[in-house]
Amino acid sequence: MTEWITVPEAAELSGYHENHLRRLIRAGDIAAEKRGGHWWVDRKSVETYLAKAKKADDDRYGPKDRG
């Protein structure tokens, strides 16, 4: 069963800015559905994307610290 989260929740989970997540959605890099004008993101898709980003040699693709 798919666990749907909002873009702000996905931003909190990933460390990515909400606008960046929307770009990833439009690019098809993470799964999402638009309902009532708001994007709902597949949590597993975000986690999979993060795991892939952490393995990348290019640090630009990893989540940023918000500290």
> The domain spanning residue 15 has which CATH number?
1.10.1660
Residue 67 lies in a domain: no
User: Using one digit for the tens of pLDDT, what is the confidence trace for 9-58?
Assistant: 999 999 999 999 999 999 999 999 999 999 999 999 999 999 988 887 77
Write out the residue range of the structural domain in which residue 13 sits.
4-57
- Residue 26 resides in a domain: yes
Give the pLDDT of residue 8. Answer: 97
Domain assignment present for residue 65? The answer is: no
| CA gap 11, 19 in Å, rounded | 9
